[in-house]
């Protein structure tokens, strides 16, 4: 199920939960619509041999590692559903016609009904309130869809923070270190770079890998971001960046720090074969965010991406 289907199912659920009064058949049709949004074929008027044990609908779905045929009884009343309904559902589950039974009750269940289901129904019977059904529906969204949706929310938030730093530079110091890395990713992508953000806590010597193509071909740059309040990065940090830059044969690398650098940082540059390594402070980071802001309001880049990346930094 994708996010659009989830939104549709949620809207139907809102109607199912909030509409008083709701006729039994109408409630049944709403539940079937919800199941269809989740990608399941809901069949109306399922039954077992004894007509008194009829269910409102049934569907087939993977549950507990197996494909199961689930009989569903829908209780449209706002009163609590009692033991008699649970006993009937247990009989359905044990009839051989269904692998599992659901009772979906708008008004919830009595304590006695819940106790009976808990003692006799594990793996055979599920009691669902509208809240429970809502949780089940949310879990039907594919993991990749969830991750993509969550990431889009995070990225929009980082874009907003980039604009905030551009307009209010003092807000830079209120940002968490991981957020600053994410903010800069949005900045560099807006500038035209393709970006790769490393995993949190993975100290491989750099946080961002940037790539861009110009007249000379594809160029790759590494960016390490340090957002420390009480200390400044020094030679050890620079050595790591130099080492990984040589290993990856990149065009250049930039070490950005909001707290400046130690006086002895240059001693970390010991490799003659190292690419161009540059240092940038908080002013550079604010400048990058201002570039993002200008680009987001119709401004265009008049310089090459390499020049834009290097502007305001110090070559060591």
pLDDT tens digit at each of 316 positions of the chain: 777 888 899 999 999 998 878 888 999 999 999 999 999 998 876 444 444 457 899 999 988 778 899 999 999 999 999 999 999 999 888 888 888 999 999 999 999 999 999 998 888 999 999 999 999 998 887 655 666 777 888 999 999 999 999 999 999 999 999 999 999 999 999 999 999 998 776 667 899 999 998 888 999 999 999 998 778 999 999 999 999 999 999 999 999 999 999 998 988 776 666 789 999 999 999 999 999 999 988 777 667 888 899 999 999 8
Tell me the two tokens of residue 250: 């990149």
As to burial, measured by CB atoms within 10 angstroms (0-12 exposed, 13-18 middle, 19+ buried), residue 255 is buried
Helix axes 143-167, 177-191, angle to 10 degrees: 90
Identify the pLDDT of residue 48. Answer: 43
| Strand pairing report for 194-197 and 208-214 | antiparallel
CA separation (Å) from 121 to 62, 124, 125, 206? 18, 5, 5, 54
DSSP string over 97-109: S-SEEEEEETT-B
In the sheet with 217-226, reading across from the earlier edge strand, the strands are 194-197, 208-214, 217-226, 252-257, 276-280, 314-315
pLDDT at 228: 85
Q: In order of start, what are the domains of the chain with their CATH numbers?
A: 3-139 (3.40.1350.10), 143-315 (3.40.1350.10)
Query: Which pLDDT belongs to residue 268?
Result: 74
Q: Per this entry, what is the length of the chain?
A: 316
Angle at 61 between CA 59 and CA 63, to 5 degrees: 130
What is the per-residue pLDDT for 233?
A: 93
What is the Cα–Cα distance from 300 to 43, expressed in whole angstroms?
57
The token pair that represents 261 in the structure block: 């650098």
Residue 116: predicted pLDDT? 95
Distances from the Cα of 125 to the Cα of 15, 72, 85, 190, 279, angstroms = 25, 10, 11, 52, 63
Q: What pLDDT score was predicted for residue 47?
A: 46
Do the Cβ atoms of 81 and 107 come closer than 8 Å? yes
Cα–Cα distance measured from residue 196 to residue 298, given in angstroms and rounded to the nearest whole number: 25
């Amino acid at each position: 199920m994708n996010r659009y289907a989830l939104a549709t199912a949620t809207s139907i659920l809102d109607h199912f939960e909030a509409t008083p009064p709701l006729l039994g058949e109408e409630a049944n049709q709403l539940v079937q619509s919800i199941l269809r949004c989740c990608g399941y074929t809901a069949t109306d008027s399922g039954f077992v041999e004894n007509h008194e044990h009829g269910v409102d609908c049934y569907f087939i779905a993977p549950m507990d590692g197996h494909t199961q045929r689930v009989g569903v009884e829908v209780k449209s009343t706002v009163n609590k559903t009692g033991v008699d309904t649970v006993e009937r559902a247990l009989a359905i589950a044990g009839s051989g016609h269904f692998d599992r039974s659901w009772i979906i009750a708008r008004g919830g269940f009595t304590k006695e009904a819940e106790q009976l289901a808990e003692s006799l129904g594990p793996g055979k019977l599920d009691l669902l309130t509208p809240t429970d059904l809502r949780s089940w529906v949310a879990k039907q969204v594919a993991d990749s869809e969830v991750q993509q949706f969550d990431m889009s929310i995070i990225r929009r938030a980082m874009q907003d923070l980039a604009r905030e730093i551009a307009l209010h530079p003092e807000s830079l110091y209120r940002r968490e270190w991981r957020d600053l890395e994410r903010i800069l990713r949005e900045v560099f992508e807006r500038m035209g770079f393709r970006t790769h953000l490393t995993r949190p806590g993975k100290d491989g010597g750099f946080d961002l890998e940037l790539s861009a193509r110009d007249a000379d071909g594809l160029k790759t740059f590494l960016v390490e971001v340090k957002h420390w309040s009480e200390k400044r990065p020094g030679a050890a940090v620079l050595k790591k960046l130099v080492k990984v830059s040589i290993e990856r044969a990149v065009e250049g690398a930039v070490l950005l720090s909001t707290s400046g650098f130690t006086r002895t940082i240059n001693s970390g540059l010991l490799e003659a074969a190292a690419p161009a390594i540059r240092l940038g402070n908080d002013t550079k980071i604010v400048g990058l965010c201002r570039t993002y802001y200008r680009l987001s309001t119709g401004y265009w880049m008049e310089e090459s991406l390499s020049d834009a990346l290097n502007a305001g930094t110090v070559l060591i």
